[in-house]
Structure formats: structure tokens, C-alpha cells
């Protein structure tokens, strides 16, 4: 049996009649395999091609929703020009002019800038003391990556980061797969998905994601929507694929259904 289970196939079949379908995808670990260095990530060609074809269909809207900032998402994802973008866990938002939506960009206050500087100093010291860990700098956050570190080093670095970041005003620490992100903006992928639904005027939403932060988006889905968890782990999503390599089959099934 292929990656599309009978239940998921039935759910996809129900999309044939929905007036406006929004297909929103996480990027890292969903559209693109996870890699050691964020800048090396690229979407799987088959998934990228299917997404580009979906983006051209009438009454079908595509979107990427990511923890990456928009500049990074554009650089590695190279999304179709009609594709809506949500970055920085819902706090950065962009839509093509035809949707008539206002973009939301990052503009930090003085207190947020100070909190980010404090967090940056803490994580730089932790990364320097823990071999194999790396840092990623974003406009409103700093990310500690531990995927390349030995397991005991990774655990110690994450624990130290949580302990030292705890209590800093205007800062939230977000856990992901082998990452900890210290952000001065409060947002979730659920907020981002709700914005996408409104902008697209979507009657049905399909969202696929792999990480802990994607659970907020799964929680924002409504009856009739489709949530697809990529990979292992507990999830609110009602369907599951084993990894990014199975996503093209899903997108091509939707493409077939919406092209009828």
C-alpha cells in the first residue's frame, strides 16, 4: 500500500466540491527534508513541482507557514509567486496583491530589542561552550540548533538555555525538533493559519506539518478540514505520512481531484 491510506483518500475525494481550498504546508520537515544547516534546506523537487501546479489552479490557494523568517523562507523555499507566506511562527505575513490583504512585518520596540540582545548573549555563550551546537539569527529571535551535537551535549545545552532564558521579560522560548528558539514576538502557526483562511476566503483547509509548533495549526482546523502529520510523534492531526518523501503523492492526489 502507498502512503495514501483509504481514509485519507476519502478525505481528499471530499475536496472535489469545496468552493475554495487552501493548501497550507510547513516547510522544514514537511516540504523539505530536515538538514543539519537551515540554509541547506531545499524542497523535494516532486513536492515543489506539485505545489507550483496547485498554485495555478482556479479556486485553489497555496501557502507556506513556517518558523523561518520570510527572507529565509523565500531563499530556501523558492515558493510559487501566487503562494501566500507566513513566517516567524505566524508573526510575519505576506500575500500577493490580488488578495487585498495587508502584510505584517517585524518592527521591534525598544524593550523587545533589549530582550533579544540579552537572549542572544546567553545563547552565544551556551553555543560556544557546547560543541556541535549552532545559532541562527532572525529579525525577532535567535535559535539554538543542537542536531549536530552529541546527545548528552544537546540535552545539556537545551536545559541550560531554558534555565537562563526563563524570566526574561518580553521573551518566549519555543521548543522544536533539536532546536530552541528565543523570540520576542508572540505568535503561533494557528494564528497564521487563521489569517490565511480569512485572506483566502477558504471553505476548506488542508494543513501538513511535522513539528511541535505545527500542533497549534492543527488545533485551529475546523470540521471538514484535513490535518496531516508528517513523521512520528503524538499529534492532533487525523492523518499521517511517514516523512517528506510521501508528501508529493498527497499533493498529486489533490491536484488530480481539483483538476477534474
Residue 25 to residue 47: CA distance in whole angstroms: 11
C-alpha distances out from residue 128 to 37, 77, 114, 211, Å: 17, 30, 21, 26
Count the helix, strand and coil residues of the chain and give each as a percent rounded to the nearest 5. Answer: 40, 20, 35
CA gap 70, 77 in Å, rounded: 10
Residue 204: φ, ψ to 5°: -140, 145
Q: Does residue 28 contact residue 62 with C-beta atoms inside 8 Å?
A: no
| Residues with catalytic function | 26
Q: At what angle do helices 247-258 and 45-55 cross, to 10 degrees?
A: 20
Cα distance between residue 126 and residue 146, in whole Å? 11
Q: 65: part of which helix (H) or strand (E)?
A: strand 60-65
Find, among 22, 73, 20, 78, the residue nearest to 49 by Cα: 78
Amino acid at each position: 500500500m502507498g502512503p495514501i491510506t483509504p481514509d485519507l483518500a476519502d478525505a481528499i475525494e471530499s475536496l472535489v466540491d469545496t468552493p475554495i481550498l487552501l493548501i497550507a504546508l510547513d516547510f522544514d520537515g514537511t516540504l523539505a527534508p530536515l538538514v543539519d544547516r537551515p540554509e541547506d534546506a531545499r524542497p523535494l523537487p516532486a513536492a515543489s513541482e506539485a505545489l507550483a501546479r496547485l498554485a495555478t489552479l482556479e479556486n485553489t490557494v497555496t501557502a507556506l507557514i513556517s518558523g523561518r523568517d520570510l527572507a529565509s523562507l523565500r531563499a530556501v523555499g523558492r515558493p510559487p509567486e501566487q503562494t501566500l507566506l507566513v513566517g516567524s511562527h505566524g508573526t510575519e505575513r505576506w500575500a500577493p496583491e490580488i488578495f487585498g490583504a495587508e502584510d505584517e512585518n517585524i518592527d521591534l520596540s525598544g524593550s523587545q530589542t533589549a530582550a533579544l540582545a540579552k537572549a542572544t548573549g546567553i545563547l552565544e555563550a551556551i553555543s560556544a561552550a557546547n560543541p556541535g551546537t549552532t545559532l541562527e539569527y532572525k529579525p525577532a529571535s535567535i535559535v539554538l540548533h543542537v542536531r549536530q551535537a552529541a546527545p548528552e551535549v544537546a540535552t545539556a545545552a537545551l536545559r541550560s538555555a531554558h534555565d537562563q532564558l526563563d524570566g526574561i521579560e518580553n521573551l518566549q522560548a519555543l521548543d522544536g525538533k533539536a532546536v530552541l528558539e528565543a523570540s520576542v514576538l508572540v505568535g503561533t502557526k494557528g494564528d497564521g493559519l487563521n489569517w490565511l483562511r480569512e485572506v483566502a476566503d477558504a471553505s476548506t483547509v488542508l494543513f501538513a506539518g511535522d513539528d511541535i509548533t505545527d500542533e497549534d495549526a492543527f488545533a485551529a482546523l475546523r470540521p471538514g478540514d484535513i490535518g496531516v502529520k508528517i513523521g512520528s510523534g503524538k499529534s492532533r492531526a487525523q492523518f499521517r505520512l511517514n516523512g517528506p518523501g510521501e508528501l508529493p503523492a498527497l499533493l498529486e492526489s489533490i491536484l488530480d481531484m481539483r483538476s477534474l
